[in-house]
Structure 1
C-alpha cells in the first residue's frame, strides 16, 4: 500500500530534529559513556545504539508506541493511560523519565487543541483528552505515547509510526554523539546506514506485542543514565 502524501509528510515531521520538543537536549546516557571513555570509535557507537534498539526501543518504547496507536484508533482513553503508566513504571533512570515526559508535554502542546492539518483523518479528541490528563497531572505523558496518538490521528499505520520513532531516536543520539565532538558527519552517516536494518527488525518484531510485554533490559545504559545525574560536566539533560 502506498502511504498517503499527508501521512508521509507527518512521518517526516515527527521524526525530524527540527520538531521543537527538546529532543536535542537528551543523550539517554550516551554522554556518560563518552565521559567514561567507553566508546572509542564508530564500531563501539554502532554496537551501543544497536543494543539500545534491541533492549529498550524495541521491547519497551515500540510496544508503548504501537499500543498507544491502537488505543487512539479505538478511541480508548483508559487504555492509553494504562500504556503511559506502564511505560513510566519500566523506565528506571530519573533523567530518562524526565526527558521523555518533557518531550511528551511539548508535543501535546504543539499538536493538541487547535493545530490540525487540512488532511487530518478525523477529530483528534483522544489526543486532546490525553493532553488534558497530562496538564492536570493524571498521567506522566511520555513522548512515545503522545507520538503514537499523534501519528495515528494523522493517518500513519502502526509500523510506519514505529519506524519513524525508532529512526528519530537513533538520529537524536547520533546527533548528540556528533555535538560532543567525538565523531564526524561521514562516520555518523555510516553508523546510521548500518543501523537501518536493525530499526526495521525491531519494529517488525514488536509492533504487535501486547502492552503487558513492555519491558526494558539495559542495565549498563541505566547505570550510565544514573551516573549522568551526578556528573560534574554535562552538556545534555540526560
Structure 2
C-alpha cells in the first residue's frame, strides 16, 4: 500500500461518516454530564484521558493489536481469543452491546464493498470465518477486534490501526459531549489537541502488547455506564 492509500484508509476508518453506529454511543459520558460530574472542558479532557489510560489502551488497543497479528497469520482462534478477553474486561452491558453492534456493522461493510480501499480484503477467508463466528454466536464481535481485522486486511500496520481506533474513540467521546449541548466546537478541539500526545503514547505502548497483558481499570466509568442503563433521560445507547 502506498503512503497516500494508507492515509486515506486511516481517514476513512476513523471518520464519523463510516456507517457503523459508533456515534450513538457515549460510553458513560452522557451519564457523567447528567449527574453534573463534568462542568468544564478541562474536566471533560481529564475524563477522556482516563479512558485512554485505563480502558482504550490496556484493553481495546491490546485486543485490536492481537486481532491484527492473528489476522495477518490467518489465525482465527487468535482473533476469537481477543474477543473473549475483551468481553470479560468490559463490564457494563451497554458498553458491550454498543461495541458488538458496531463490530457487526463494520464486518458487514467490509464484505459488501468490492472496490476502493478495501479491494484487497480476503472476504472469503479469515474475514468470512470471523463473520460467521459472530453470526453464529460463537464470538462477540467487538468493534476493536473487528477493526483490527479490517485494518490488517486493508493494509494498515498494527500501530496505524491502533491510532485509528484510539482517535475514533476519543473523538466519539468528545463528540458525544458536544452533541449534548454542553461544550462548543472550540473547547472540544482544544481538548482534542491536548489529548494527542496521550493518544500517541498509549498506542505506542499497547499496540504490540501480549493478549495476557489486557486489563481495564475505570471503575467510575463502569458505574456511570451501569447507571445509564436505568436513567430516565437518555439520548445515547450507552
Q: TM-score category by the smaller chain?
A: over 0.9
Whether the 8 Å contact between 1:64 and 1:87 is mirrored in structure 2 is yes
How many angstroms apart in 2 are the aligned matches of 1:178 and 1:129?
A: 38
| Structure 2: segments with no counterpart, 5+ residues | none
Distance 1:46 1:200 in 2: 15
Q: Which deviates the most, 31-40 or 126-135?
A: 126-135
Divergent runs of 4+, >4 A: 118-122
Residues 1:18 and 1:220: Cα distance change in structure 2 (over 3 Å): same
Q: Secondary structure at the match of 2:70?
A: helix
Distance in structure 2 (CA, Å) of the matches to 1:210 and 1:121: 27
Please give the root-mean-square deviation of Cα atoms over the aligned residues, in Å: 1.4
Runs of 5+ unmatched residues, structure 1: none
Length, aligned pairs only: 237
Report the 3-state secondary structure (helix = DSSP H, G, I; strand = E; otherwise coil) of the residue aligned with 1:112.
Answer: helix
Deviation, 1:114, is 5.4
Matched, 1:50 2:49: yes
* 1:75-154 → structure 2 map (5 Å cutoff): 75-112=74-111, 115-117=114-116, 120-121=119-120, 123-124=122-123, 125-154=125-154
Are the equivalent residues in 2 in contact too, given 1:6–1:119 (CA < 8 A)?
no
Query: Which residue number corresponds to residue 233 of structure 1?
Result: 233
Paired residue secondary structure (2:17) = coil
Deviations 1:7-32 (A, max 9, x none): 22111111010001111100000000
Give the superposition deviation at 1:155: 0.8
Paired position in structure 1 for 2:27: 28
Residue 18 of structure 1 is matched in structure 2 by 17
Measured after TM superposition, the shift of residue 126 of structure 1 is 1.2
CA distance in structure 2 between the partners assigned to 1:118 and 1:189 by the alignment: 28
Is the Cα contact below 8 Å between 1:120 and 1:155 reproduced in 2?
A: no
TM-score normalized by structure 1? 0.96
1:6 aligns with 2:5: yes
Q: 1:81 to 1:40 in 2, by over 3 A?
A: same
Question: How far does residue 33 in structure 1 lie from its aligned partner after superposition?
Answer: 0.2
Partner of 2:223: 223
